[in-house]
Structures are given as structure tokens and as C-alpha cells.
């Protein structure tokens, strides 16, 4: 029969082994997660690069694999199709803009100061990826990517406008406001990028938001 000390020692050993095993599993999972993230980033970068050089419809899975230097089986381990990859390329941007919008809306102060909180983040993203955005705006294969960006912005504006009191925007139809703001934003961003994004993002954001918000909300008497 085991003594109390021996039993305690064996129990402690068992707990230690379980801890080591769990730590090993956690480290293995972390390593796997990093590999997955790295592979997906390579595939997304490959598509982003290709879409500035040729029409989206002409891009093949093999083109993407060659550009990312991965095999087709690796591609299909992460994405079901080229369209699935494209959607995921913009999901990170959507999350970034949505987070900035929610942060701005949660701040105290006047609605004018909190509205369109995604705007600066979008301008900064375009500035940080200037070559890609300029290629999309004026190059081949960019229409689909720009349409995806436009859809993200429309969803964000639509969500924000829906929270406003109809009286605060003179009962203008919600979808009209969405198209007005998004259309203006895309036009301003295109003009800004065509000029080399010389104005700082903070300045172009401040000007856009002032003009757009004045067009949405009535001025106080």
C-alpha cells in the first residue's frame, strides 16, 4: 500500500506531466496558427499584386500559387476558390474600419464630431499602400477591388445612418445618404491618390468629414 507521501508525489508528477503536455499542445497550436497566418498572407498578397496587373477574371489559381510560391493543395487547404480568397483579402480592412467607427461613435460629444469615424483609417490605409491603390484606381483589374472597398464603406455608412434620428438628417432616405457619402468618399480618395497623396491623411479626412457631415446633418439655427 502506498504511503501518503508517495501518493502525493505521484499525483504531483501526474499533474506536472499533464501541464507539460498541455503546454506542448498549446505551443504546437501556436506554431500552426502562425504558419496558417503566414500562408494566408502570402496568398492574399499574391492576389493583391496580380489584380493590379491583369483582369481579375483572367487570374487563375495557378497564377496565385506561382506568385505566392505555394502548391495548389496548399491553396485549397485555406480557400475554396479565387472569390473566397478575394473576400478574405478585404475582411481585415473591414474589421479595421469597423473598429475605428465603433470607437469614434462610443466617444462623448456632438454627433458631428463622432460621425464617419472610419474615414481617417481608410485614408491612412490607402496612404500606407499607395502604389497598390493607385494601380487599382487607374490600372487594369481594379474595378472589382474598388467595388469591394465601396461595398465595405457602404455597409459602414448604412449602419451609422440607421442609428441617426430621421429628424437630424431632414428625413432624407437612408440609401440616398449612403450613396452620397460613399460616392463622395471614393471621388475624394481617387483625386487624393492621383495627386500622390500629398495632403496628410488627417487633413484630407478633416475636410471630407466636414463637407460630408454638413451635407447629411442640418446646420443649427
Helix 61-68 / helix 82-105 crossing angle, nearest 10 deg: 70
Average pLDDT, the chain: 83
Q: How far apart are CA 111 and CA 98, in angstroms?
A: 17
Does residue 163 share a domain with residue 72? no
Number of domains observed in the structure of the chain: 2
Q: What's the CATH code of the domain at 117?
A: 1.10.357
Distance CA 97, CA 164 (A): 19
Q: Cα 144 vs. chain centroid, distance in angstroms? A: 16
Say whether both 160 and 189 belong to one domain. yes
Cα(56)–Cα(54) distance, rounded to whole angstroms? 6
From CA 205, how far away is CA 117, in angstroms rounded?
10
Residues 106 and 166 in one domain: yes
The pLDDT confidence band at residue 221, using thresholds 50, 70 and 90, is very low
Task: Note down the domain range covering 121.
Answer: 82-216
Is residue 221 assigned to a domain? no
What is the pTM assigned to this prediction? 0.72
Asked if 92 and 74 sit in the same domain, the reply is no
- Per-residue pLDDT tens over the stretch 164-214: 766 655 667 889 999 999 999 999 998 998 888 999 999 999 999 999 988
Same domain for 134 and 206?
A: yes
Amino acid at each position: 500500500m502506498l504511503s501518503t507521501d508517495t501518493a502525493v508525489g505521484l499525483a504531483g508528477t501526474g499533474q506536472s506531466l499533464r501541464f507539460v503536455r498541455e503546454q506542448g499542445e498549446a505551443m504546437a497550436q501556436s506554431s500552426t496558427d502562425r504558419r496558417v497566418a503566414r500562408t494566408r498572407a502570402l496568398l492574399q498578397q499574391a492576389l493583391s499584386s496580380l489584380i493590379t496587373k491583369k483582369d481579375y477574371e483572367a487570374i487563375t489559381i495557378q497564377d496565385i500559387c506561382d506568385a505566392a510560391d505555394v502548391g495548389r493543395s496548399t491553396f485549397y487547404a485555406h480557400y475554396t476558390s479565387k472569390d473566397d480568397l478575394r473576400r478574405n483579402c478585404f475582411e481585415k480592412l473591414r474589421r479595421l474600419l469597423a473598429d475605428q467607427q465603433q470607437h469614434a461613435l462610443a466617444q462623448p460629444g456632438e454627433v458631428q464630431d463622432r460621425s464617419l469615424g472610419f474615414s481617417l483609417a481608410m485614408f491612412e490605409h490607402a496612404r500606407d499602400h499607395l502604389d497598390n491603390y493607385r494601380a487599382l484606381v487607374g490600372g487594369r483589374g481594379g474595378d472589382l477591388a474598388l467595388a469591394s472597398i465601396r461595398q465595405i464603406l457602404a455597409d459602414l455608412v448604412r449602419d451609422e445612418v440607421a442609428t441617426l434620428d430621421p429628424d437630424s438628417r431632414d428625413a432624407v432616405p437612408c440609401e440616398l445618404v449612403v450613396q452620397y457619402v460613399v460616392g463622395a468618399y471614393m471621388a475624394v480618395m481617387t483625386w487624393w491618390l492621383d495627386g500622390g497623396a500629398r495632403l496628410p491623411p488627417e487633413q484630407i479626412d478633416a475636410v471630407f468629414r466636414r463637407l460630408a457631415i454638413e451635407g447629411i446633418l442640418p446646420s443649427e439655427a
